Amino acid sequence: MASSWMLLLAVLGGACALPAPEPFAYTQALAQAVNSYNQRPEVKNAFRLLSAEPQPEPGVELSSLQAFNFSMMETECAASARSDPEDCDFKENGIIRECVWSLGVPTPPHPLTPTSLRQPGLVERGGFGRSEPIKGPPGVAV
């Protein structure tokens, strides 16, 4: 019986000694936000990150931000193709989505979801694309 307790303590002690997970990086959050949006059933063409504020630079951690803005633009690739949007060309006159992501906690406790995308209003970009509002699920403000 004593050896069972020693084994249990050794296993628990080993589990506690595991390194802490890496902080959720800003670039990961941007990529996951675009990927989550592309998985929505109503999205016909995949979207790709167009710009972000602040700029995704090395050392910018998600935990240091209260909110961030980003825009993504429709590509020529079908969303159902599941290809990497970074390998797709932007669609001529494609839709541009302007998004604001507000963070209520320093580090997200769960994976980021498409309902985290917010759009304050339409933003017209000179001839480069057209903007349309993001449609969210019923009862969720977007």
pLDDT at 4: 60
Is the residue at 80 inside a domain?
A: yes
Range(s) of the domain holding residue 58: 23-131
Is the residue at 137 inside a domain?
A: no
pLDDT at 7: 55
CA distances from 24 to 1, 60, 91, 116 (A): 42, 10, 30, 16
Is the residue at 64 inside a domain?
A: yes
Is the residue at 55 inside a domain?
A: yes
> What's the CATH number where 126 sits?
3.10.450.10
- Quote the number of domains for the chain: 1
Is the residue at 138 inside a domain?
A: no
User: Residue 137 pLDDT > 50, yes or no?
Assistant: no
Is the residue at 17 inside a domain?
A: no
Stronger pLDDT, 71 or 102, i.e. the higher one? 71
Is the residue at 70 inside a domain?
A: yes
User: Residue 85 pLDDT > 80, yes or no?
Assistant: yes
Q: What percent of the chain has pLDDT over 70?
A: 48
pLDDT at 26: 74
CA 40 to chain centre: 13
Q: In the predicted model, what is the mean pLDDT of the chain? A: 67
